[in-house]
Amino acid sequence: MRILVTGANGLLGRKLTSLIQKANVAELMSATRASLDVTDLLQLRSAVQSFKPDVIINAAAMTQVDQCEQQRDECWKQNVGSVKNLVDVCNNGAVHLIHVSTDFVFNGKEGPLDESAVPDPVNFYGESKLEGERVILDSKVPAAIVRTVLVYGVTSDMSRSNIVLWVKKNLEEKKPIKVVSDQFRTPTLAEDLAMGCVLAAKKKATGIYHISGYEMMTPYDIAMKTADFFGLDKTLISSVTDFVQPAKRPLKTGFIIDKAKRELRYQPHSFMDGLAIVKQQLLELSLQ
């Protein structure tokens, strides 16, 4: 099997390339932002014609929610235009597509949610990701849409932080932090999401799959557990509700992952086990 991973310079992309290489499950082509712009159809066609992948795992997206709200044209270009390009090259080359989406396609009125839940996004990021899903579902491309929730983890040369690393860094620097306590998620270890994508690729799965952790928590819960695990001062953490941000957030999402467990044999780590993995990787990075 030949797999092309787009967005390979991000956290998920790096975990995907590492997993595929270690497991020796496929010949791999990693497409970083510097080497391949998936919003450029000609570049994408050239890469696909050259590598001839059996599967494309699309981990490329604009995911900064507030930035998406403020830079809508760029958001649409990256989250919808690129998907149209991927559908184009998959149609022409009979390539199987694994596309990563988000819990932010939902309105947050209830959760956890399974794959039958009706999307209704409350911000532009969610709208763009839902439209990307529709582009795929309206096409004839064999594809799996992998929705996920609040991904955390660590890798070298990270361009963006995530909630676990943000909490850890600020508390280590003795900085007080405010964390929302009225939003509910099922946080996802990056390794687990990568495994879910690879399992879908190996199975050539089609349809929608919810891939996340299984523990429903608020960001405040996550911060407190992170502080406890790393032995940091959790008195620096205060909870807030109705936190005002440029883009509205769904209050309650989180996923029911029974379908992924049943059909893909997906088994995520517990949140505490995920923190242990992050701790070990941080130690290894510090020794390099």
Q: Is residue 32's pLDDT more than 70?
A: no
Distance in angstroms (rounded) separating the CA atoms of residues 276 and 270: 10
What tokens appear for 254 in the block? 């989180």
Residue ranges per domain, the chain?
A: 2-160+187-215+252-269
For every residue of 97-137, DSSP letters joined together read EEEEEEGGGS-SBS-SB-TTSPP--SSHHHHHHHHHHHHHH
> 117-169 pLDDT, tens per residue?
999 999 999 999 999 999 999 999 999 999 999 999 999 877 688 999 999 99
Distance in angstroms (rounded) separating the CA atoms of residues 200 and 98: 7
Fold of 2-160+187-215+252-269: Rossmann fold (3.40.50)
Q: What is the pLDDT of residue 1?
A: 86
Catalytic residues: 125
> 199-223 pLDDT, tens per residue?
999 999 999 999 999 999 999 999 9
What tokens appear for 206 in the block? 């089609």
Which residues, including other chains, have CB under 8 Å from residue 231's CB and lie 6 or more apart? none
Judge residue 9's burial from the number of C-beta atoms within 10 Å of its C-beta, 0-12 exposed, 13-18 middle, 19 or more buried: buried
Taking the whole predicted model, whether its pTM rises above 0.75 is answered as: yes
Q: How confident is the model at residue 33 (pLDDT cuts 50, 70, 90)?
A: very low
Q: Are 222 and 271 in contact (CB under 8 A)?
A: yes
Strand segments, DSSP code E, in the chain are 2-6, 27-31, 55-58, 96-102, 143-148, 151-152, 177-180, 188-189, 207-210, 237-240
Q: How far is CA 10 from CA 39, 59, 72, 131, 148, in A?
A: 16, 8, 21, 22, 15
The secondary structure of residue 144, as a DSSP letter, is E
Distance in angstroms (rounded) separating the CA atoms of residues 7 and 106: 24
